[in-house]
Structure 1
Amino acid sequence: MPIDVAKAVSAEPRTAALTWGHKDIQLYHLGIGAGTPATDPGELRYTLESRLHVLPSFATVAGGGMALAGGMSAPGIDVDLAAVLHGGQSVELHRPIPVDGKATQKSKVAAVYDKGKAAVIVLRTEATDADGPLWTCDTRIYVRGEGGFGGERGPSERVEPPARDPDHTVERAIREDQALLYRLSGDWNPLHADPDFAKGAGFDRPILHGLCSYGMVLKAVVDTALDGDVARVRAYTTRFAGVVFPGETLCVRMWRDGGDTDGPGRIHVTATALERDGAPVLTDTTVEHA
Protein backbone atom coordinates (compact mmCIF):
# COMPACT_ATOMS: atom_id res chain seq x y z
CA MET A 1 0.00 0.00 0.00
CA PRO A 2 1.46 3.40 -0.94
CA ILE A 3 0.45 4.87 2.42
CA ASP A 4 1.79 3.02 5.46
CA VAL A 5 -0.52 4.56 8.04
CA ALA A 6 1.19 3.15 11.13
CA LYS A 7 4.62 4.27 9.92
CA ALA A 8 3.39 7.72 8.91
CA VAL A 9 1.59 8.47 12.18
CA SER A 10 4.31 7.07 14.46
CA ALA A 11 7.23 8.82 12.76
CA GLU A 12 9.19 11.36 14.76
CA PRO A 13 8.27 14.98 14.02
CA ARG A 14 10.40 16.86 11.55
CA THR A 15 11.93 20.06 12.89
CA ALA A 16 12.69 23.23 10.92
CA ALA A 17 13.85 26.71 11.87
CA LEU A 18 11.62 29.57 10.71
CA THR A 19 12.61 33.22 10.43
CA TRP A 20 10.67 36.16 9.05
CA GLY A 21 10.69 39.94 9.08
CA HIS A 22 8.58 42.89 8.06
CA LYS A 23 9.37 42.42 4.34
CA ASP A 24 7.96 38.88 4.43
CA ILE A 25 4.82 40.15 6.16
CA GLN A 26 4.36 43.01 3.72
CA LEU A 27 4.92 40.76 0.69
CA TYR A 28 2.38 38.26 1.99
CA HIS A 29 -0.21 40.95 2.66
CA LEU A 30 0.28 42.44 -0.81
CA GLY A 31 -0.03 38.94 -2.25
CA ILE A 32 -3.50 38.53 -0.76
CA GLY A 33 -4.68 41.89 -2.05
CA ALA A 34 -3.86 44.34 0.72
CA GLY A 35 -2.93 47.91 -0.08
CA THR A 36 -5.97 49.23 -1.95
CA PRO A 37 -6.61 52.13 -1.49
CA ALA A 38 -2.90 52.64 -0.82
CA THR A 39 -3.41 55.53 1.64
CA ASP A 40 -6.30 53.98 3.58
CA PRO A 41 -5.27 53.80 7.28
CA GLY A 42 -6.81 50.33 7.49
CA GLU A 43 -4.71 49.09 4.59
CA LEU A 44 -1.54 50.72 5.91
CA ARG A 45 -1.69 48.31 8.86
CA TYR A 46 -0.93 45.60 6.33
CA THR A 47 1.60 47.44 4.19
CA LEU A 48 3.51 50.11 6.15
CA GLU A 49 6.30 48.82 8.39
CA SER A 50 5.77 51.48 11.07
CA ARG A 51 2.12 50.41 11.57
CA LEU A 52 2.33 46.73 10.68
CA HIS A 53 0.28 43.95 12.19
CA VAL A 54 0.23 40.32 11.02
CA LEU A 55 -2.78 38.53 9.58
CA PRO A 56 -2.87 35.08 11.27
CA SER A 57 -3.01 33.23 7.94
CA PHE A 58 0.63 34.29 7.47
CA ALA A 59 1.39 31.14 9.48
CA THR A 60 0.74 29.11 6.31
CA VAL A 61 3.67 30.73 4.47
CA ALA A 62 6.13 31.47 7.29
CA GLY A 63 9.52 30.10 6.33
CA GLY A 64 8.36 29.24 2.82
CA GLY A 65 5.11 27.56 3.85
CA MET A 66 5.64 24.23 2.14
CA ALA A 67 3.61 22.11 4.56
CA LEU A 68 1.86 20.22 1.78
CA ALA A 69 5.14 19.31 0.08
CA GLY A 70 6.60 18.28 3.43
CA GLY A 71 3.65 16.01 4.10
CA MET A 72 4.20 14.23 0.80
CA SER A 73 7.78 13.36 1.78
CA ALA A 74 6.93 12.12 5.29
CA PRO A 75 7.87 8.54 6.25
CA GLY A 76 5.22 6.06 5.11
CA ILE A 77 3.84 8.38 2.43
CA ASP A 78 4.44 7.31 -1.18
CA VAL A 79 1.75 8.62 -3.50
CA ASP A 80 1.34 10.01 -6.99
CA LEU A 81 1.58 13.79 -6.66
CA ALA A 82 -0.80 14.16 -9.60
CA ALA A 83 -3.50 12.66 -7.35
CA VAL A 84 -2.90 15.13 -4.53
CA LEU A 85 -5.22 18.04 -3.69
CA HIS A 86 -5.05 20.54 -0.85
CA GLY A 87 -8.35 19.67 0.78
CA GLY A 88 -8.51 22.01 3.75
CA GLN A 89 -6.61 24.20 6.15
CA SER A 90 -6.85 25.34 9.73
CA VAL A 91 -4.78 27.73 11.83
CA GLU A 92 -5.05 28.04 15.60
CA LEU A 93 -3.35 31.10 17.10
CA HIS A 94 -1.91 30.89 20.60
CA ARG A 95 -0.97 34.59 20.55
CA PRO A 96 -0.44 37.29 17.93
CA ILE A 97 2.32 36.64 15.41
CA PRO A 98 5.21 39.10 15.81
CA VAL A 99 6.31 41.23 12.85
CA ASP A 100 9.89 39.95 13.21
CA GLY A 101 10.24 36.42 14.44
CA LYS A 102 12.29 33.27 14.87
CA ALA A 103 10.56 30.00 15.66
CA THR A 104 11.02 26.26 15.61
CA GLN A 105 8.41 24.36 13.65
CA LYS A 106 7.67 20.69 14.25
CA SER A 107 5.67 18.78 11.63
CA LYS A 108 4.16 15.32 11.68
CA VAL A 109 1.38 13.29 10.14
CA ALA A 110 -1.35 13.52 12.77
CA ALA A 111 -3.82 11.17 11.06
CA VAL A 112 -4.66 9.34 7.83
CA TYR A 113 -8.36 8.86 7.12
CA ASP A 114 -10.03 6.44 4.73
CA LYS A 115 -12.68 8.21 2.65
CA GLY A 116 -13.37 5.22 0.41
CA LYS A 117 -12.14 6.43 -2.97
CA ALA A 118 -9.51 8.66 -1.39
CA ALA A 119 -7.29 9.07 1.64
CA VAL A 120 -7.00 12.26 3.68
CA ILE A 121 -3.62 12.95 5.27
CA VAL A 122 -3.65 15.45 8.15
CA LEU A 123 -0.28 17.15 8.50
CA ARG A 124 0.10 19.06 11.78
CA THR A 125 2.70 21.79 12.23
CA GLU A 126 3.38 23.55 15.52
CA ALA A 127 5.50 26.68 15.79
CA THR A 128 7.15 27.80 19.03
CA ASP A 129 9.46 30.70 19.76
CA ALA A 130 11.40 31.77 22.86
CA ASP A 131 8.17 32.93 24.51
CA GLY A 132 6.23 29.71 23.91
CA PRO A 133 3.71 28.34 21.39
CA LEU A 134 2.75 30.60 18.48
CA TRP A 135 0.43 28.60 16.23
CA THR A 136 -0.79 25.15 15.26
CA CYS A 137 -1.71 24.43 11.63
CA ASP A 138 -3.51 21.41 10.23
CA THR A 139 -3.15 20.86 6.49
CA ARG A 140 -5.59 18.33 5.06
CA ILE A 141 -4.21 16.62 1.98
CA TYR A 142 -6.70 14.73 -0.21
CA VAL A 143 -5.16 11.86 -2.19
CA ARG A 144 -7.39 10.39 -4.88
CA GLY A 145 -7.35 6.63 -5.33
CA GLU A 146 -5.68 5.86 -1.99
CA GLY A 147 -8.75 5.02 0.10
CA GLY A 148 -10.35 1.66 0.78
CA PHE A 149 -7.67 0.40 3.17
CA GLY A 150 -10.07 -0.14 6.07
CA GLY A 151 -9.00 2.81 8.18
CA GLU A 152 -11.04 5.30 10.21
CA ARG A 153 -13.20 7.58 8.12
CA GLY A 154 -12.44 10.55 10.36
CA PRO A 155 -14.63 13.38 11.62
CA SER A 156 -17.12 15.16 9.40
CA GLU A 157 -15.83 18.48 8.11
CA ARG A 158 -19.22 19.87 7.09
CA VAL A 159 -20.15 23.11 8.83
CA GLU A 160 -23.34 24.75 7.57
CA PRO A 161 -23.93 28.48 8.10
CA PRO A 162 -27.17 29.63 9.77
CA ALA A 163 -30.32 29.39 7.64
CA ARG A 164 -30.80 33.15 7.32
CA ASP A 165 -29.42 36.06 5.41
CA PRO A 166 -25.74 36.76 6.10
CA ASP A 167 -24.80 39.55 8.48
CA HIS A 168 -22.17 40.81 6.06
CA THR A 169 -21.54 40.38 2.35
CA VAL A 170 -18.45 41.83 0.69
CA GLU A 171 -16.78 41.44 -2.67
CA ARG A 172 -13.03 41.23 -3.16
CA ALA A 173 -11.56 41.63 -6.64
CA ILE A 174 -8.66 39.36 -7.55
CA ARG A 175 -6.06 41.20 -9.57
CA GLU A 176 -4.78 39.66 -12.81
CA ASP A 177 -1.29 39.48 -11.28
CA GLN A 178 -2.44 38.18 -7.88
CA ALA A 179 -1.04 34.66 -8.23
CA LEU A 180 2.25 35.98 -9.64
CA LEU A 181 2.72 38.14 -6.56
CA TYR A 182 1.45 35.59 -4.04
CA ARG A 183 3.79 32.85 -5.26
CA LEU A 184 6.77 34.97 -4.13
CA SER A 185 5.84 33.96 -0.57
CA GLY A 186 6.96 30.41 -1.32
CA ASP A 187 4.52 28.37 -3.42
CA TRP A 188 6.23 28.04 -6.82
CA ASN A 189 3.77 25.56 -8.33
CA PRO A 190 3.63 26.46 -12.07
CA LEU A 191 -0.10 25.70 -12.03
CA HIS A 192 -0.53 29.26 -10.74
CA ALA A 193 1.67 31.00 -13.30
CA ASP A 194 2.36 28.95 -16.45
CA PRO A 195 -0.57 28.88 -18.93
CA ASP A 196 0.75 25.75 -20.70
CA PHE A 197 1.14 23.88 -17.41
CA ALA A 198 -2.36 24.94 -16.34
CA LYS A 199 -3.84 23.66 -19.61
CA GLY A 200 -2.07 20.35 -19.09
CA ALA A 201 -3.79 20.14 -15.71
CA GLY A 202 -7.20 20.75 -17.29
CA PHE A 203 -7.61 24.50 -16.72
CA ASP A 204 -8.07 27.21 -19.34
CA ARG A 205 -5.56 29.41 -17.53
CA PRO A 206 -3.57 29.49 -14.26
CA ILE A 207 -5.66 29.31 -11.10
CA LEU A 208 -5.21 31.24 -7.86
CA HIS A 209 -3.52 29.46 -4.97
CA GLY A 210 -6.05 28.06 -2.51
CA LEU A 211 -4.08 29.57 0.35
CA CYS A 212 -4.22 32.96 -1.35
CA SER A 213 -8.03 32.75 -1.33
CA TYR A 214 -7.74 31.60 2.28
CA GLY A 215 -5.81 34.74 3.23
CA MET A 216 -8.05 37.04 1.20
CA VAL A 217 -11.16 35.73 2.93
CA LEU A 218 -9.67 36.03 6.43
CA LYS A 219 -8.66 39.63 5.69
CA ALA A 220 -12.21 40.36 4.54
CA VAL A 221 -13.59 38.92 7.80
CA VAL A 222 -11.13 40.84 9.99
CA ASP A 223 -11.75 44.12 8.19
CA THR A 224 -15.53 43.74 8.03
CA ALA A 225 -16.58 41.88 11.16
CA LEU A 226 -13.70 42.21 13.64
CA ASP A 227 -13.00 45.96 13.51
CA GLY A 228 -9.74 45.37 11.62
CA ASP A 229 -8.14 43.78 14.70
CA VAL A 230 -6.09 40.71 13.69
CA ALA A 231 -5.37 39.93 17.35
CA ARG A 232 -9.02 38.91 17.84
CA VAL A 233 -8.65 35.85 15.59
CA ARG A 234 -8.26 32.65 17.57
CA ALA A 235 -8.73 30.00 14.88
CA TYR A 236 -9.62 29.80 11.19
CA THR A 237 -10.72 26.66 9.37
CA THR A 238 -11.80 26.04 5.79
CA ARG A 239 -12.37 23.42 3.10
CA PHE A 240 -11.20 24.17 -0.43
CA ALA A 241 -14.29 23.46 -2.51
CA GLY A 242 -13.31 24.87 -5.91
CA VAL A 243 -10.94 27.05 -7.85
CA VAL A 244 -10.97 30.76 -8.55
CA PHE A 245 -9.09 32.56 -11.31
CA PRO A 246 -7.11 35.81 -11.27
CA GLY A 247 -9.34 38.55 -12.62
CA GLU A 248 -12.46 37.15 -10.94
CA THR A 249 -14.25 38.40 -7.83
CA LEU A 250 -14.66 36.62 -4.52
CA CYS A 251 -18.04 37.08 -2.87
CA VAL A 252 -17.58 36.59 0.88
CA ARG A 253 -20.63 36.05 3.10
CA MET A 254 -20.44 36.08 6.91
CA TRP A 255 -22.84 34.98 9.66
CA ARG A 256 -22.23 35.75 13.32
CA ASP A 257 -22.76 32.86 15.72
CA GLY A 258 -22.55 33.88 19.37
CA GLY A 259 -21.15 37.05 20.86
CA ASP A 260 -21.64 40.50 19.36
CA THR A 261 -19.43 42.95 17.52
CA ASP A 262 -17.04 43.18 20.46
CA GLY A 263 -17.55 39.84 22.21
CA PRO A 264 -16.24 36.30 21.67
CA GLY A 265 -17.89 33.98 19.20
CA ARG A 266 -17.68 32.34 15.81
CA ILE A 267 -18.25 33.63 12.30
CA HIS A 268 -19.44 31.26 9.57
CA VAL A 269 -18.11 32.14 6.15
CA THR A 270 -18.61 31.14 2.53
CA ALA A 271 -16.64 32.35 -0.50
CA THR A 272 -17.85 31.99 -4.06
CA ALA A 273 -16.76 33.09 -7.55
CA LEU A 274 -19.08 35.91 -8.51
CA GLU A 275 -18.56 35.69 -12.28
CA ARG A 276 -19.29 31.95 -12.41
CA ASP A 277 -22.77 31.98 -10.92
CA GLY A 278 -21.53 31.68 -7.37
CA ALA A 279 -19.32 28.61 -7.86
CA PRO A 280 -18.05 27.57 -4.41
CA VAL A 281 -14.45 28.41 -3.55
CA LEU A 282 -14.28 28.03 0.27
CA THR A 283 -16.92 26.15 2.26
CA ASP A 284 -17.25 24.73 5.79
CA THR A 285 -15.40 27.82 6.95
CA THR A 286 -15.35 29.34 10.43
CA VAL A 287 -13.40 32.06 12.21
CA GLU A 288 -13.24 31.75 16.00
CA HIS A 289 -12.65 35.13 17.62
CA ALA A 290 -12.16 36.88 20.93
Structure 2
Amino acid sequence: MFNLIMRSVDWTSGQEAMPVGRFFEYTEDHIANQFRQNGSLLLDRLRALPCLFMPEGIRDEMSYVGQINRARVVGNEVSFEYTLDTEVPPLQNNMIYANRMALDMPRDFEFSRNHWAVKDVDLYRFLLRNIRPRRQRPTVFQIPEHENIEPALASAMMPFDAGFNSVYDSIRQAADAAGLRCRRADDIWENAAIIQDVVALIDRSRVVVCDCSGRNPNVFYEAGIAHTLGREVILITQSEQDIPFDLRYLRHVRYLNNDQGRAALTEALQARMQTILGH
Protein backbone atom coordinates (compact mmCIF):
# COMPACT_ATOMS: atom_id res chain seq x y z
CA MET A 1 0.00 0.00 0.00
CA PHE A 2 0.99 3.63 -0.37
CA ASN A 3 -0.30 7.07 0.53
CA LEU A 4 -1.33 9.28 -2.36
CA ILE A 5 -1.41 12.94 -1.34
CA MET A 6 -2.71 15.25 -4.05
CA ARG A 7 -2.24 18.98 -3.54
CA SER A 8 -0.82 21.73 -5.74
CA VAL A 9 1.91 23.00 -3.44
CA ASP A 10 5.70 23.17 -3.41
CA TRP A 11 6.46 19.57 -2.50
CA THR A 12 10.11 20.38 -1.86
CA SER A 13 9.25 22.32 1.31
CA GLY A 14 9.12 19.29 3.62
CA GLN A 15 5.99 20.33 5.48
CA GLU A 16 2.32 20.50 4.47
CA ALA A 17 -1.23 19.99 5.71
CA MET A 18 -4.43 18.34 4.48
CA PRO A 19 -8.02 18.92 5.68
CA VAL A 20 -9.29 15.93 7.66
CA GLY A 21 -12.41 15.91 5.49
CA ARG A 22 -10.30 15.06 2.43
CA PHE A 23 -8.87 11.87 3.92
CA PHE A 24 -9.65 8.54 2.21
CA GLU A 25 -11.31 10.04 -0.85
CA TYR A 26 -10.86 7.61 -3.76
CA THR A 27 -10.00 4.89 -1.22
CA GLU A 28 -11.86 1.62 -0.92
CA ASP A 29 -13.80 1.35 2.34
CA HIS A 30 -12.12 -1.83 3.54
CA ILE A 31 -8.73 -0.14 3.15
CA ALA A 32 -9.77 3.12 4.81
CA ASN A 33 -11.15 1.17 7.78
CA GLN A 34 -7.67 -0.16 8.49
CA PHE A 35 -6.50 3.38 9.27
CA ARG A 36 -9.44 4.55 11.42
CA GLN A 37 -10.45 3.68 14.94
CA ASN A 38 -13.43 5.09 16.79
CA GLY A 39 -13.60 7.93 14.28
CA SER A 40 -9.93 8.89 14.68
CA LEU A 41 -7.16 8.64 12.13
CA LEU A 42 -4.43 6.11 12.87
CA LEU A 43 -1.63 8.40 11.74
CA ASP A 44 1.18 6.08 12.86
CA ARG A 45 -0.11 3.39 10.52
CA LEU A 46 -0.32 5.90 7.65
CA ARG A 47 3.24 7.09 8.35
CA ALA A 48 4.52 3.56 7.87
CA LEU A 49 3.47 3.60 4.20
CA PRO A 50 5.52 5.10 1.37
CA CYS A 51 3.98 8.18 -0.16
CA LEU A 52 3.43 9.66 -3.61
CA PHE A 53 3.29 13.46 -3.34
CA MET A 54 1.43 14.88 -6.35
CA PRO A 55 0.26 18.28 -7.58
CA GLU A 56 -3.00 18.35 -9.48
CA GLY A 57 -2.79 17.82 -13.25
CA ILE A 58 -2.11 15.27 -15.97
CA ARG A 59 0.67 16.95 -17.94
CA ASP A 60 4.24 17.84 -17.01
CA GLU A 61 3.62 18.61 -13.34
CA MET A 62 6.27 17.01 -11.15
CA SER A 63 5.45 14.43 -8.45
CA TYR A 64 7.74 12.92 -5.84
CA VAL A 65 8.12 9.71 -3.84
CA GLY A 66 8.98 9.91 -0.17
CA GLN A 67 8.04 9.18 3.42
CA ILE A 68 5.98 10.94 6.08
CA ASN A 69 8.06 11.48 9.22
CA ARG A 70 5.62 13.17 11.57
CA ALA A 71 1.88 13.85 11.46
CA ARG A 72 -0.61 15.33 13.91
CA VAL A 73 -4.13 16.68 13.89
CA VAL A 74 -4.32 20.46 14.26
CA GLY A 75 -7.91 21.67 14.30
CA ASN A 76 -9.57 20.43 11.12
CA GLU A 77 -6.29 19.61 9.38
CA VAL A 78 -3.53 17.06 9.58
CA SER A 79 -0.13 18.77 9.59
CA PHE A 80 2.70 16.53 8.44
CA GLU A 81 6.43 16.63 7.83
CA TYR A 82 8.05 14.46 5.18
CA THR A 83 11.21 13.72 3.24
CA LEU A 84 11.57 12.97 -0.46
CA ASP A 85 13.40 9.85 -1.60
CA THR A 86 16.49 11.13 -3.42
CA GLU A 87 17.00 7.71 -5.01
CA VAL A 88 13.76 8.10 -6.98
CA PRO A 89 13.73 10.82 -9.66
CA PRO A 90 10.76 13.19 -9.89
CA LEU A 91 7.89 11.74 -11.92
CA GLN A 92 5.85 13.66 -14.46
CA ASN A 93 2.10 13.48 -13.91
CA ASN A 94 1.53 12.47 -17.52
CA MET A 95 3.49 9.26 -16.84
CA ILE A 96 1.41 8.60 -13.73
CA TYR A 97 -1.79 9.32 -15.66
CA ALA A 98 -0.76 6.93 -18.43
CA ASN A 99 -0.37 4.22 -15.75
CA ARG A 100 -3.38 5.25 -13.65
CA MET A 101 -5.04 1.82 -13.78
CA ALA A 102 -1.92 0.15 -12.37
CA LEU A 103 -1.91 2.70 -9.54
CA ASP A 104 -5.63 2.30 -8.79
CA MET A 105 -6.40 5.83 -10.01
CA PRO A 106 -9.03 5.12 -12.69
CA ARG A 107 -11.10 8.30 -12.26
CA ASP A 108 -9.86 11.37 -14.14
CA PHE A 109 -11.34 13.70 -11.53
CA GLU A 110 -8.95 12.30 -8.95
CA PHE A 111 -6.16 14.19 -10.73
CA SER A 112 -7.86 17.53 -10.12
CA ARG A 113 -8.89 17.38 -6.46
CA ASN A 114 -6.91 17.85 -3.25
CA HIS A 115 -7.16 14.65 -1.23
CA TRP A 116 -5.33 11.96 0.72
CA ALA A 117 -5.95 8.42 -0.50
CA VAL A 118 -4.50 5.03 0.33
CA LYS A 119 -3.93 2.68 -2.59
CA ASP A 120 -3.53 -1.07 -2.32
CA VAL A 121 -0.56 -1.09 -4.71
CA ASP A 122 3.13 -1.82 -4.13
CA LEU A 123 4.51 1.59 -5.14
CA TYR A 124 8.16 0.57 -5.34
CA ARG A 125 7.39 -2.49 -7.43
CA PHE A 126 5.48 -0.20 -9.80
CA LEU A 127 8.47 2.14 -9.99
CA LEU A 128 10.88 -0.70 -10.72
CA ARG A 129 8.72 -1.75 -13.65
CA ASN A 130 7.98 1.69 -15.07
CA ILE A 131 10.61 4.23 -14.12
CA ARG A 132 13.28 5.11 -16.63
CA PRO A 133 16.50 3.17 -16.02
CA ARG A 134 19.57 4.98 -14.86
CA ARG A 135 21.31 6.46 -17.86
CA GLN A 136 24.91 5.96 -18.88
CA ARG A 137 26.79 9.13 -18.10
CA PRO A 138 29.59 10.73 -20.15
CA THR A 139 33.08 11.53 -18.91
CA VAL A 140 33.73 14.80 -20.78
CA PHE A 141 31.05 16.55 -18.73
CA GLN A 142 28.73 15.57 -15.90
CA ILE A 143 24.99 15.01 -15.96
CA PRO A 144 22.87 13.80 -13.02
CA GLU A 145 22.08 10.12 -12.73
CA HIS A 146 18.40 10.95 -13.20
CA GLU A 147 17.12 13.80 -15.34
CA ASN A 148 15.34 16.71 -13.69
CA ILE A 149 13.68 18.87 -16.33
CA GLU A 150 12.37 22.25 -15.22
CA PRO A 151 8.96 22.45 -16.94
CA ALA A 152 9.12 26.23 -17.42
CA LEU A 153 12.75 26.49 -18.60
CA ALA A 154 13.84 27.16 -22.17
CA SER A 155 17.42 27.67 -23.33
CA ALA A 156 19.04 29.29 -26.33
CA MET A 157 22.16 27.83 -27.95
CA MET A 158 23.81 30.44 -30.17
CA PRO A 159 27.22 31.99 -30.86
CA PHE A 160 28.70 34.16 -28.10
CA ASP A 161 28.61 37.19 -30.36
CA ALA A 162 27.10 40.62 -29.74
CA GLY A 163 25.51 40.41 -33.19
CA PHE A 164 23.13 37.76 -31.84
CA ASN A 165 21.95 39.72 -28.78
CA SER A 166 18.89 41.07 -30.58
CA VAL A 167 18.07 37.57 -31.80
CA TYR A 168 18.29 36.30 -28.22
CA ASP A 169 15.91 39.08 -27.16
CA SER A 170 13.42 37.80 -29.76
CA ILE A 171 13.76 34.22 -28.48
CA ARG A 172 13.28 35.38 -24.91
CA GLN A 173 10.16 37.37 -25.83
CA ALA A 174 8.69 34.26 -27.48
CA ALA A 175 9.46 32.18 -24.41
CA ASP A 176 7.90 34.75 -22.09
CA ALA A 177 4.73 34.81 -24.18
CA ALA A 178 4.57 31.01 -24.07
CA GLY A 179 5.00 30.93 -20.28
CA LEU A 180 8.66 29.90 -20.28
CA ARG A 181 11.79 31.41 -18.73
CA CYS A 182 14.64 31.53 -21.26
CA ARG A 183 18.35 31.49 -20.51
CA ARG A 184 21.56 31.04 -22.42
CA ALA A 185 24.90 29.84 -21.16
CA ASP A 186 26.47 33.28 -20.75
CA ASP A 187 23.61 34.18 -18.38
CA ILE A 188 25.04 31.81 -15.78
CA TRP A 189 28.40 31.14 -14.12
CA GLU A 190 28.15 28.00 -12.03
CA ASN A 191 31.19 25.94 -13.04
CA ALA A 192 34.80 26.54 -14.00
CA ALA A 193 34.24 24.85 -17.37
CA ILE A 194 31.75 26.60 -19.67
CA ILE A 195 30.78 23.27 -21.26
CA GLN A 196 29.48 22.07 -17.90
CA ASP A 197 27.23 25.13 -17.60
CA VAL A 198 25.97 24.63 -21.15
CA VAL A 199 25.21 20.93 -20.67
CA ALA A 200 23.54 21.50 -17.30
CA LEU A 201 21.32 24.16 -18.87
CA ILE A 202 20.35 21.88 -21.76
CA ASP A 203 19.68 18.97 -19.42
CA ARG A 204 17.26 21.01 -17.30
CA SER A 205 15.47 22.63 -20.24
CA ARG A 206 11.99 21.79 -21.47
CA VAL A 207 12.74 23.45 -24.85
CA VAL A 208 16.11 24.17 -26.49
CA VAL A 209 16.39 26.73 -29.32
CA CYS A 210 19.52 26.29 -31.46
CA ASP A 211 20.57 29.05 -33.88
CA CYS A 212 22.55 27.41 -36.67
CA SER A 213 23.33 30.72 -38.38
CA GLY A 214 26.98 30.90 -39.43
CA ARG A 215 27.48 27.15 -38.96
CA ASN A 216 28.96 27.64 -35.49
CA PRO A 217 30.52 24.31 -34.40
CA ASN A 218 29.67 24.88 -30.73
CA VAL A 219 25.99 25.25 -31.56
CA PHE A 220 26.06 22.04 -33.62
CA TYR A 221 27.69 20.22 -30.70
CA GLU A 222 25.06 21.59 -28.31
CA ALA A 223 22.22 20.63 -30.66
CA GLY A 224 23.60 17.09 -30.74
CA ILE A 225 23.67 16.98 -26.93
CA ALA A 226 20.09 18.26 -26.76
CA HIS A 227 18.88 15.66 -29.26
CA THR A 228 20.72 12.88 -27.42
CA LEU A 229 19.14 13.90 -24.11
CA GLY A 230 15.70 13.79 -25.73
CA ARG A 231 14.94 17.50 -25.41
CA GLU A 232 12.50 19.37 -27.61
CA VAL A 233 14.81 21.18 -30.03
CA ILE A 234 13.78 24.08 -32.26
CA LEU A 235 16.29 24.90 -35.01
CA ILE A 236 16.44 28.47 -36.31
CA THR A 237 18.71 29.98 -38.95
CA GLN A 238 19.27 33.01 -41.16
CA SER A 239 20.18 30.70 -44.05
CA GLU A 240 18.87 27.22 -44.80
CA GLN A 241 22.34 26.27 -46.04
CA ASP A 242 23.62 26.62 -42.47
CA ILE A 243 21.46 23.71 -41.29
CA PRO A 244 23.64 20.56 -41.30
CA PHE A 245 22.68 18.20 -44.09
CA ASP A 246 21.70 15.43 -41.65
CA LEU A 247 19.22 17.77 -39.94
CA ARG A 248 17.57 19.41 -42.94
CA TYR A 249 14.70 16.97 -42.83
CA LEU A 250 13.69 18.53 -39.49
CA ARG A 251 11.41 21.54 -39.42
CA HIS A 252 13.29 24.77 -38.78
CA VAL A 253 12.50 28.48 -38.61
CA ARG A 254 14.26 30.78 -41.06
CA TYR A 255 14.47 34.45 -40.12
CA LEU A 256 15.97 37.76 -41.24
CA ASN A 257 18.12 39.58 -38.72
CA ASN A 258 16.28 42.88 -38.89
CA ASP A 259 13.43 44.38 -36.87
CA GLN A 260 10.70 42.88 -39.02
CA GLY A 261 12.42 39.51 -39.31
CA ARG A 262 13.05 39.20 -35.59
CA ALA A 263 9.42 40.10 -34.86
CA ALA A 264 8.34 37.29 -37.20
CA LEU A 265 10.82 34.97 -35.46
CA THR A 266 9.26 35.75 -32.07
CA GLU A 267 5.80 34.97 -33.42
CA ALA A 268 6.89 31.68 -35.02
CA LEU A 269 8.79 30.54 -31.92
CA GLN A 270 5.91 31.38 -29.61
CA ALA A 271 3.55 29.27 -31.70
CA ARG A 272 6.00 26.35 -31.77
CA MET A 273 6.65 26.53 -28.02
CA GLN A 274 2.94 26.62 -27.24
CA THR A 275 2.44 23.54 -29.42
CA ILE A 276 5.22 21.72 -27.54
CA LEU A 277 3.73 22.69 -24.19
CA GLY A 278 0.25 21.65 -25.28
CA HIS A 279 -1.26 25.11 -24.83
Same-fold call, TM > 0.5? Answer: no
Name which one, 1 or 2, has greater alpha-carbon Rg. 2
TM-score (normalizing by structure 1): 0.24
Q: As a proportion of its length, which structure holds more strand?
A: 1
Q: As a proportion of its length, which structure holds more helix?
A: 2
The higher relative CO (CA closer than 8 Å, separation ≥ 6) is in 1
TM-score (normalizing by structure 2): 0.25
